[in-house]
Amino acid sequence: MTPVQTPSIFAPVSTPAFAIRELSFFVLGITAVIFVIVAGFAIYTLIRFGRRPANPDLEPAQVYGSKQIELAWTVVPFLIVVVLFLVTARYVWGIERRAQPADALEITVVGNQWWWEIRYPKLGIVTANEIHVPVADARPTPTFFTIQSVDVAHSFWIPQLAGKMDAIPNKTNRVWIEPRQVGTYVGQCAEYCGLQHALMLLVVVVHPKDEFQAWVAAQQTPPVDQATVTAGRQLFSSLACINCHTVRGTGGNGVFGPDLTHLMSRSTLGAGAARNTPENLRAWVKDPGAFKTGALMPAMKLDDTQLDQLVAYLVTLR
């Protein structure tokens, strides 16, 4: 059994998610009071006037209305709405209009059918589905995301870090996080985007600052060319792989599929379709549809030798 990791919106670890929880407790409180009063009055009415009457044939007194009472139960809800609106607007502004500090980390997230491209434009890193950010413990060091899509609408959602932000083609959206706690937080695409909407995992790994720097350095280094896997590497660049995939430092610079430069540093294949082990990787390359029906990567019809050589090469991409 894998340990349970529930992405509850009420277990925030990041500034905007904390703010939303604060606001939601306020709203939940108000609505709970309304519920108790109205439901209580309803139950009282049903019990008191639901008893078998002494003289059932006689109609009860006909009350046509009361201007005062009706006015009261119109004005009071209206006042509640005014309060709720002011509080809401304050939080909307506070979260959406936060200025981006000069030293904030910038990440571009691009929704694809059915995976996420993750770019660090200032650091020259491109990866997929798994986002690595530094923790904001002592000093506020937020991460600002630019959210885009290359095909249909998706939605970027890691509940413990921030609310959703849609990835919409022809549009650039922004959202930010400020995680205060080291750890791994999961989310997934939250806007229906076609066949495999269910398999669009998002993972955010929050590192201590020095660990994050080490991760950046590792990602910036091209993978070491190993002589033992030359056959696989040649296969990779002679087949259609490089039409879609990039491996930095080789001829492969395709942009339709995930960047494979540090493929083995990621924990899953196909955005959560399977754990990233050499065995699964081999099965994935053989037929991606076996893990993820309709995945846009085709089965390349490789024979067993080719598969062995190719996977031997791919597992060196650490």
> Binding residue for another protein (CB under 8 A) from 141, 143, 155, 309?
155
Interaction of residue 171 with another protein, rule CB under 8 A: yes
Q: Which helix (H) or strand (E) holds 175?
A: strand 173-177
> Binding residue for another protein (CB under 8 A) from 177, 193, 260, 263?
193
> Binding residue for another protein (CB under 8 A) from 99, 122, 138, 170?
170
Q: How many CB atoms lie within 10 A of CB 120?
A: 20
**Residue number, 18 or 137, with CB nearest to another protein:** 18
What angle is formed at CA 233 by the lines to CA 231 and CA 239, rounded to 5 degrees? 100
Site string for another protein, 215-234 (x = CB under 8 A): --------------------
**Residue number, 56 or 138, with CB nearest to another protein:** 56
Interaction of residue 68 with another protein, rule CB under 8 A: no
Contact partners, residue 313, CB within 8 Å, separation at least 6 = 229, 231, 232, 233, 235, 236
Tokens of 221: 């280094």
> Binding residue for another protein (CB under 8 A) from 29, 96, 121, 124?
96
Contact partners, residue 253, CB within 8 Å, separation at least 6 = 242, 246
> Binding residue for another protein (CB under 8 A) from 108, 123, 164, 300?
164
User: C-beta of 57: minimal distance to another protein in Å?
Assistant: 10
Residues 282-301 that bind another protein (CB under 8 A): 293-294
Residues in contact with another protein, total (CB under 8 A)? Answer: 92
H helices of the chain, in order, are: 15-50, 67-96, 209-220, 230-238, 241-244, 278-286, 304-314
Output phi, psi for 38, to 5 deg. Answer: -70, -45
> Binding residue for another protein (CB under 8 A) from 8, 100, 184, 213?
8
Residues 123-152 that bind another protein (CB under 8 A): 147, 151-152
Interaction of residue 188 with another protein, rule CB under 8 A: yes
Report long-range pairs for 274-280 (Cβ below 8 Å, ≥24 apart): 278/311, 278/315
How do beta strands 125-128 and 105-112 pair?
A: unpaired
